Amino acid sequence: MEYFTLNTNEKIPVIGEGTFLFTPDEAESAVLTALEQGYRLIDTANYYMNEKAVGRAMKKSSLKRPEIYLSTKLWPSEYEQASQAIDETLERLGTDYLDLLFLHQPVGNYLAAYQAMIEAVAAGKVKSLGLSNFSQNKIGELIEKTGVAPAVVQVEAHPYANQTALKEFLAPYNTKVMAWFPLGHGDKSLLNEQLFSDLAAKYHKTNVQIILRWHTQVGNIVIPGSKNPVHIAENLDIFDFELSPPELAEIKKLDVNKTYYVQTEEKLNEYLHLKQDYSQQK
């Protein structure tokens, strides 16, 4: 496993198992499989409704809590009561601290929630702070008002959308990017790019493994989510080769600033009013 060092001096694995759209049973099985196969980063969220299952998998594994890097996210409807939401999140996950806590969406009273997260760091409940789906302007706003830069920004990133401008903005803060939709939402035109096929043949890897290795080499933390044990193992098998600087430069040429998720004010307002009973998680 390779690691990045965050601006909090915490080390984070460069690749982890994501659990977006996983049912509790699927999340428990996939996380346990991932941990057994060598993963050390697990990403979940209040909104995914599988935190309890992730916690069970962690306990069923042979690993001790400090060996696992755990990341989750607060949902906007929880921002007004963020301190309480953090305690309830810890309870669902069955842990007394989080390695990384994100605000999931940039809507509602995110400033108050970020302040509560800063207080949670001081209290030892959270080690590093993150922002998910926040624009550069809103990230700058939170840094200016609190004096605390996030350790990680989670955003859609892949070879068709390098997020170059955002990464340049974050560089002075040593804030890392965590990529979701790291494979372009499964876009076959991306996955089957001839360049990736040629590199896969050269390094005896799959096109997916080439893309995931590209992510880690350009400084992205990546969280592909798979329920298939074979794919979970393949996604991690990317550390026995390195793409050369000329190869990385060729991949960079694929960037056309194409994203698959479009964030609108209408969607954000829906997120703000979408409430869930997290106590009903299984």
Q: Which residues are catalytic?
A: 48
- The CA distances from residue 168 to 72, 113, 162, in Å, are 25, 26, 11
Contacts made by residues 227-233, CB under 8 angstroms, sequence distance 24+: 227/22, 227/26, 227/29, 227/30, 229/33, 229/37, 232/17, 232/30, 232/33, 232/34, 232/37, 232/39, 233/37
Q: What is the dihedral of CA 180, 105, 88, 181, to 10 degrees?
A: -10
Residue written as tokens 């049912």? 23
Name residue 147's amino acid: G
Residue written as tokens 């996380």? 31
Name residue 113's amino acid: A
3-state secondary structure of 50: coil
Q: Give the whole-angstrom CA distance, residue 7 versus residue 111.
A: 20
Per DSSP, what are the bridge partners of residue 132? 154
HEC letters along 145-180: HHCCCCCEEEEECECCECCHHHHHHHHHHCCEEEEE
DSSP H helical ranges for 51-174: 51-60, 82-93, 110-122, 136-146, 164-170
Q: What is the dihedral of CA 207, 249, 263, 150, to 10 degrees?
A: 110
